Structure 1
Amino acid sequence: MNQHDKMLSPHSSSAPPSQPPVPISITICGDGGCGKSSITLRLVRSQWTSEYDPTIEDSYSITRRIDGVTYHLSLTDTAGQEEYRGMWASSNLGADAFLLVYDITARDSLEALQYFNDLIDMEAETRLDNAARARKAGLSPTGEGGGGGAGSGAKTVAPVKIVAGNKCDLQESREVPAAVGLEWARRRGCGFMETSARLEVNIEETFALIVRRVVESRRLAEMGITDTEAGMNSRGMTKPLSPLPTSDDEKAARGPGNRGPNINGDRVGRGAGGFWKKFRCW
Structure 2
Amino acid sequence: MAEIQRITITICGDGGCGKSSITLRLVRSQWTHEYDPTIEDSYSVTRTIDGTNYLLMLTDTAGQEEYRGLWATSNLSSDAFLLVYDITNSDSLHVLDYYMEMISLEEEARIDSGRPPPVKMVVGNKCDLQVARQVKSSEGLEYAKKHGAGFMETSAREMVNVEETFGQLIRRVAENRRIAAGEVQGPDAVSKTAALPPLSEKEKEREKRQSGARGHKGGFWRKLKCW
The alignment's TM-score, normalised by the length of structure 2, stands at 0.89
After superposition, give the CA deviation of every residue in 1:93-132 in whole Å (9 maximum; x if it has no partner): 010000000000000000000100010010011111221x
Amino acid at match of 2:153: E
After superposition, give the CA deviation of every residue in 1:130-188 in whole Å (9 maximum; x if it has no partner): 21xxxxxxxxxxxxxxxxxxxxxxxx211000000000000000000000000000011
The match for 1:162 is 121
Using the aligned pairs only, state the percent identity: 56
Q: Which piece of structure 1 moves more, 204-213 or 120-129? A: 120-129
The match for 1:67 is 50
RMSD of aligned residue pairs (Cα, Å): 2.7
Structure 2 counterpart of 1:259, from 207, 213, 217:
213
CA contact (8 A) 1:189 1:240 kept: no
Shift of 1:48: 0.3
The match for 1:211 is 170
Matches of 1:80 and 1:227 in 2, distance apart?
A: 39
The match for 2:13 is 30
Matches of 2:171 and 2:187 in 1, distance apart?
A: 19
CA contact (8 A) 1:62 1:73 kept: yes
Instruction: State yes or no: 1:182 paired with 2:141.
Output: yes
Q: How does 1:271-282 map to 2 (within 5 A)?
A: 271=222, 276=224, 279=225, 281-282=226-227
Structure of greater relative contact order (alpha carbons < 8 Å, 6+ residues apart): 2
Label 1:168 to 1:32 Cα distance change in 2 as closer, same or farther (>3 A): same
Instruction: State yes or no: 1:47 paired with 2:30.
Output: yes
Moved over 2 A (4+): 224-228, 230-233, 239-247
The match for 1:77 is 60
After superposition, give the CA deviation of every residue in 1:240-282 in whole Å (9 maximum; x if it has no partner): 87895556xx96xx7xx95169xxxxx852x5xxx63xx4x21
Amino acid at match of 2:118: P
Would you tell me which structure has more helix in proportion to its own residues? 2
Matches of 2:98 and 2:198 in 1, distance apart?
A: 20
How many corresponding residue pairs?
222
CA contact (8 A) 2:40 2:62 kept: yes
Structure 1: gaps spanning 5 or more residues = 1-17, 132-155, 262-266
After superposition, give the CA deviation of every residue in 1:176-222 in whole Å (9 maximum; x if it has no partner): 00000000000110000000000000000000000000000011111
Q: Per the alignment, in what secondary structure is the counterpart of residue 26 of structure 2?
A: helix
The match for 1:128 is 111
Matches of 2:141 and 2:190 in 1, distance apart?
A: 18
The match for 1:14 is none
Label 1:218 to 1:51 Cα distance change in 2 as closer, same or farther (>3 A): same
Structure 1 counterpart of 2:131, from 172, 195, 199:
172
Matches of 2:3 and 2:72 in 1, distance apart?
A: 28
The match for 2:194 is 236
The match for 1:137 is none
Label 1:231 to 1:96 Cα distance change in 2 as closer, same or farther (>3 A): closer
Shift of 1:20: 2.3
Label 1:226 to 1:99 Cα distance change in 2 as closer, same or farther (>3 A): farther
